[in-house]
Amino acid sequence: MILTLEKLKTEYANQGMNLTLDFKNRLKDQTLMYDIDLVKVTGQVQFLQSRYVHFDLTIETTLTLPCAITLKPVIYPLSFKIEEDVSETSDAEYRIIEDKIHLGDIVWGAIIPMIPMQVYAEDAPRDQFEEEPKINEVFAQLKDHFDKK
């Protein structure tokens, strides 16, 4: 979703944001998740300067992720807050280009690092692939040495 600075000033700066974004079209370019529900974005927008915008947002959605062992779908609810500054300078991660801010990129960029590395289905045999802890022989000899004293 691309928002103009004018729309941000007139609609969202006074009453806050309450939007729903659809990212299903981005699923084809990644392998981290099977599915993503509509993303609810709520929060506040502040203009710190005329071309410097601060977002304070809450992001909520439900992801369908692959089980780390069985690859079965696992439902994973996701809810978190972000703060993001957007300006025309190169210091900002997201920039204002032609008086427009790409809110979809900001939200998607916040969701991706929140995806857990591993999730497990309830019936996944977690202990099946765990190795028994191995003791390094050098350290095993040291253990005996300190036990004697």
3-state class (DSSP) for residue 130 = coil
Q: Does residue 24 contact residue 111 with C-beta atoms inside 8 Å?
A: no
pLDDT tens per residue across all 149 residues of the chain = 888 888 888 888 778 899 999 999 988 877 889 999 999 999 999 888 878 889 999 999 999 999 988 899 999 999 999 999 888 876 778 888 888 899 999 999 999 999 999 999 988 887 766 666 777 777 777 766 666 65
Q: Of 59, 57, 53, give the one whose Cα is nearest residue 95.
A: 53
